[in-house]
Chain A
Amino acid sequence: MIVEFGHFALVLGFVVALVQGVVPLVGAQRGNAGLMAVAPAASLAQFLAVGTAFAALTYAYVVSDFSVLNVVNNSHTAKPLLYKITGVWGNHEGSLLLWVLILAVFGLALALFGNNLPPALRARALAIQALVAFGFLGFLLFTSNPFARTMPPPVNGQGLNPILQDPGLAFHPPFLYLGYVGFSMAFSFAVAALIEGRVDAAWARWVRPWTLAAWIFLTLGIGLGAWWAYYELGWGGWWFWDPVENASLLPWLAGTALLHSAIVVEKRDALKSWTILLAIITFALSLLGTFLVRSGVLTSVHAFASDPTRGVFILGLLAIVLGVSFALYAWRAPHLKGGGLFRPVSREGSLLLNNALMAAATGTVLLGTLFPLIVEVLGMGKVSVGPPYYNYTFGILMIPLVLAMAVGPMLAWKRGRLGRALARLVPAALAAGVAAGWGILRSDTAGSAVVAAIGMGLAAWLVVGTLVELLERSGFYRHGPATALRRLPGMPRAAWGMTLAHLGLGIAIAGMVGSSLWKVESVQVMAAGDSQTVAGYTFAFHGAREVKGPNYTAVQGSFTVKGPDGATITTLDPSKRSYEVRSMPTTEAAIHTTWVGDLYAVVGDPAKKREGFVTRLYYNPLVPWIWIGSVVMVLGGLVSLSDRRHRVGVPARARTARRQTDGEGA
């Protein structure tokens, strides 16, 4: 009964979305306040409808209602409650329902907190949001109904893929979707602005917090995914340039560019049509990701199993949503006139440079991801584009970008002085030199020495350069440390946000480069009593025993790790689980984190030829910096979001009054 209720609610949401997508648009066109007022009410109704559907499916999972096909295919009574709930989105239908729910949540948020927006803009943005929802609800209802029944119900379900029974992966999709779908706000605002034919500083100020929120979620989602891969796949890798990973990176890159270009629109009333285009492209890339994962058009480790009708439906949806938006863009954007002027050497100039490089980087990842498909469609055979390609091309594009990242914030608005900025950055250059030298000494092949010198040098340049900018901003150089200390806490949150985000990226770069270059690995058979030394750390193996989990059994190994000085550092208990229902094993690496690296142990199968187990021991240097850097970036986003000029509900007048006196960046 509850299941049918959920299905009905979904149909209701579908109808409401259509109303919300049409009526307010008409109202805004005619200046009819009554019709426009449908939008917020409909947003609430749509949220309630989709929310009810989601709750109904969750209920079916929690009570293990095996008359629902989706529950049969992805759940089991023996599963812990947490994974019964997260199993709701561990499959195509449920995750799509979550996607639509998040879309409704963002729509509702806009309806609730958008009171200070011009009514027509709000009505149009909500209508666009609803039209996207309409398409996806149709996709759900017509090709991927999560409420389909099965008769007769089986005694038990087939269980959730054990790989998904993990906290990292359980919460990776919701964050990812919050990011993807969050960019729909920028998209809706962009399309609404194109309909109105007007983009101004106020528009940019409304779009930025939504984009920032989506960016924060997407950063978290990508970070969680990488972290999960790191500890679960059992060999210390965290990024593989897999098509589906790229699909999440693409909107992140475009969204990052959008965050920066929106600043120029806000400050200088320039780069308007470019910013609108970026807003559309960012969401387009989110949709592309969804399409790639669900259509089976690309093969990837992460893809959902797919059937062709779904692929066709979602391709049609993609073509309509984006085709209309880009056509509208081609029609209206030429008439958007930018006002403010600035010199190439200025804050705006550096933001523009950032955008050019980010766009090239986004295009590169897109090209690499789609190239095999394009070559095949053109009948030129099959090629693979693997990590080496991205490491060369994307890596090289990142060099000027990171170099400019330290300089840009040092430049004044409108016209800056490059010489003065560079003179201030001497400490950063020195730090980069030292870090590069350290990187070379740490490496043992010429190839890795070059990469290490560049990577570590850039990381140090960015971190120290960002700190120099903080000092400069605080008045340290002009008024001394006392003034600086007094001023720092009072600096705009958005400025702190930029500082943190840039610092985080610097830290993460060091982690990414170090962990890829200097990983030490040792694979061997070990019996109880054996020891193995890896990168100076001695792993003593004490054997393995069987342990029992809620719905799995595991072989758990035990190691004691001693440092180079012989002192015991930690014990590591990696295990290999075997899930009863799907009889699939998963590895659970045991990791001991220090500030400069991870001690990482995995226990594998019993050895065939002699007594003992296959064990894999790693020293993964600087990996923690990737996670620390990502968290710092997210913190930066949050701090910036809390800036009172972004805070929703602040009267528009107060913001306009403050506009002229701002002196900070992202």
Chain B
Amino acid sequence: MTVSLSWYMGLSAVLFGLGVLGLLIRRNVLVMYMCIELMLNAANIAFVAFAQKLNDLGGQAAVFFVLVVAAAEVVVGLGIVVAIFRRRADATADDIHLMKG
């Protein structure tokens, strides 16, 4: 049995696909954010796998920045969710289709 780079790529692809699927299927905004986190994690797995296999630090530095971007995205996204909750009682994405005001 060998754990080659292809395995990590396959796992990363599956995880990314699940994230996309959840983002497209779910309507709860918070769960949709979680699915974005899944996709970022899939990218992180690919980055770290390539970094280790190529013996290059670039992938690990990229993971670092992905973490920062994920944190910033969650902060702003949840701020938007809180702001929406002020005027609507639910966080269903279909209801947020007006950009007025």
Q: Do A and B come from one complex?
A: no
Residues of chain B whose beta carbon lies under 8 Å from any beta carbon of chain A: none
